[in-house]
Amino acid sequence: MIGGGASGLMCAMTAAQRGRKVLVLDSSNKIGKKILMSGGGRCNFTNYYIEADNYICENPHFVKSALRQYTQWNFIALVEKYGIAYHERDHGQLFCNDSAKEILNLLKTECDKADVQIKIRCAVEKISFENGYTLQTNIGRFNCKSLVIATGGLSIPTLGSTGFGYEVAQQFGHDVYPVRAGLVPFTFSDWFKAVTEKLSGTAIKATIETGGHSFTENILFTHRGLSGPAVLQVSNYWQAGQAITINLLPEHNAEELLKGYKKMRAKSLLKNLLAEVLPIKLIAELENRFWQESATKPVAEIPDAQLAEIAGGLSALKLKPSGTEGYRTAEVTLCGVSTDEISSKTMESMKQPDLYFIGEVLDVSGHLGGFNFQWAWSSGYVAGISIK
Ligand SMILES: Cc1cc2nc3c(=O)[nH]c(=O)nc-3n(C[C@H](O)[C@H](O)[C@H](O)COP(=O)(O)OP(=O)(O)OC[C@H]3O[C@@H](n4cnc5c(N)ncnc54)[C@H](O)[C@@H]3O)c2cc1C
């Protein structure tokens, strides 16, 4: 097994429980580093509502078999067996009450009980195949009959992420779709950059849409751009150069709201009325952009056509991110090893015998909310029960 992250450890313990002799090699000084960092240190380890629709993959059916063979309920049962206290947050997300360490300890204990051997600080550099696999590493050579690639994606390079899994896939004739950062904040270089800097730390509920995909959750203004769950979710569907549309008033019909103000509270200033539904600092920025010349007029004096325009700015604010924060802060890597020639039932290569790809190295990325770990558990498990 190359990689002692979420998928690698799940696969290792599952295969070893079946009596297979398993060796996990990991280049880091610690296994499961992303587990420890995840969910703000509390690991959002799965979700009550796991569906294939929560995953992005060129073949949307690919994830179904593994997710059926090892479900969220299987992992929850394991968490409960270890007495790990957990709680549900919005949209069925499950987090540890105390610490992500508990999830890693669970996996380590299961690996220990099944006699999995783990070598850390062991970076695999080259693989060759001739009646079995030979792995060249910084600490020597290893041979094995079956090889599992669980090297993850490129996100957060300081956590041991490398592109090695992609190289292995190509070496054995697999296609690799060009990767990019996912679940990642947006950056801006136009007028909106100054807005995000001024509003840094402010969060509001909004709907963000790009390319036909939309999410309604919090957005967070930061000194680097826009973050928060809705932004991270939509970033998975964003392509460089594409615009995003933000509805800053997802719980209102903006045009009706402004018309209502004009009718019922005609003497007030628009900014004072909007302060009931949006943060004042944000209104000040929007006013500068959309109704500066009417800023001192009571709402009754703003023509209907201009009010409709302002409503459009509030409910469909079009922005063009200059980019994303990239792998430095991304939670996942989008795309990767094409699933076309990987068995969805076992994760084995259809091109190369006894070679398996699991977890994030594959062209499978989940939404925010525990879906990526569930993919790691499910894909790791099915490979673990299949290894010959
Ligand atoms: C900050 C952060 C928070 C996250 N929070 C959540 C969350 O709360 N919920 C959720 O579902 N998902 C979360 N994710 C995503 C989740 O962590 C990953 O999807 C998941 O860890 C992928 O598992 P994996 O086994 O494929 O890869 P990883 O867990 O990344 O493991 C890959 C391992 O391979 C090793 N490796 C790489 N190359 C080599 C090599 N050449 N030789 C030897 N070893 C090698 C690495 O050192 C690493 O240990 C988060 C990600 C990040 C970055």
Tens of pLDDT, residue by residue over 168-206, are: 999 999 999 999 999 999 999 999 999 999 999 999 999
Ligand 1 atom having least distance to the Cα of 162? 38
- pLDDT in the model for residue 115: 98
> What is the spatial distance between Cα 10 and Cα 46, in angstroms, rounded to a whole number?
14
- Which residues is 126 bridged to in the sheet? 136
CA of 12 relative to ligand 1 center, distance in Å: 15
> What is the spatial distance between Cα 44 and Cα 56, in angstroms, rounded to a whole number?
19
Q: What angle do CA 166, 167, 170 make, to 5 degrees?
A: 90
Cα 13–chain centre separation: 25
| Contacts for 244 with CB less than 8 Å, ≥ 6 apart | 186, 208, 209, 210, 234, 238, 318, 319, 320, 321
Tens of pLDDT, residue by residue over 56-80, are: 999 999 999 999 999 999 999 999 9
Nearest to 32 by CA among 381, 359, 271: 359
Two tokens, residue 105: 């300890």
- pLDDT in the model for residue 193: 96
Tens of pLDDT, residue by residue over 366-378, are: 999 999 999 999 9
Assess contact for 185 and 218: CB atoms under 8 A. Answer: no
Tens of pLDDT, residue by residue over 292-308, are: 988 899 999 999 999 99
The alpha helices in 236-303, defined as continuous H runs, are: 254-264, 270-274, 280-290
Tens of pLDDT, residue by residue over 335-380, are: 999 999 999 999 999 999 999 999 999 999 999 999 999 999 999 9
Is residue 160 predicted with pLDDT exceeding 80? no
Helical packing angle, 6-17 and 101-113, nearest 10°: 30
> What is the spatial distance between Cα 327 and Cα 319, in angstroms, rounded to a whole number?
22
- pLDDT in the model for residue 161: 80
Ligand 1 atom having least distance to the Cα of 7? 25
The pTM of this model reads 0.96
Nearest to 47 by CA among 380, 367, 363, 292: 367
Is residue 159 predicted with pLDDT exceeding 90? no
- pLDDT in the model for residue 219: 98
Ligand 1 atom having least distance to the Cα of 155? 53
Tens of pLDDT, residue by residue over 218-248, are: 999 999 999 999 999 999 999 999 999 999 9
Average of pLDDT values for 126-155? 97
The count of other CB atoms within 10 Å of the CB of residue 338 is 19
- pLDDT in the model for residue 53: 97
Tens of pLDDT, residue by residue over 307-329, are: 999 999 999 999 999 999 999 99
Q: If you search the block for the tokens 């525990």, which residue do you land on?
A: 370
Is residue 275 predicted with pLDDT exceeding 80? yes
Assess contact for 203 and 228: CB atoms under 8 A. Answer: yes
- Which residues is 285 bridged to in the sheet? none
Q: How confident is the model at residue 385 (pLDDT cuts 50, 70, 90)?
A: very high
Q: What is the mean pLDDT of the chain?
A: 96
Ligand 1 atom having least distance to the Cα of 3? 34
Instruction: Give the residue, by CA position, lying nearest to ligand 1 atom 27.
Output: 152
Is residue 162 predicted with pLDDT exceeding 90? no
Assess contact for 124 and 363: CB atoms under 8 A. Answer: no
| Contacts for 293 with CB less than 8 Å, ≥ 6 apart | none
Which residue type occupies 99?
S
Instruction: Give yes or no for residue 261 CB within 6 A of ligand 1.
Output: no
Q: How confident is the model at residue 128 (pLDDT cuts 50, 70, 90)?
A: very high
> What is the spatial distance between Cα 1 and Cα 147, in angstroms, rounded to a whole number?
6
| Contacts for 34 with CB less than 8 Å, ≥ 6 apart | 5, 6, 152, 156, 159
Instruction: Give yes or no for residue 380 CB within 6 A of ligand 1.
Output: no
Average of pLDDT values for 87-107? 97
Instruction: Give yes or no for residue 227 CB within 6 A of ligand 1.
Output: no
Instruction: Give yes or no for residue 164 CB within 6 A of ligand 1.
Output: yes
Instruction: Give yes or no for residue 383 CB within 6 A of ligand 1.
Output: no
Two tokens, residue 345: 């039932």
211 HSE (CA, 13 A, CB side): 10
Is residue 6 predicted with pLDDT exceeding 80? yes
Q: What are phi and psi of 145, to 5 degrees?
A: -85, -45
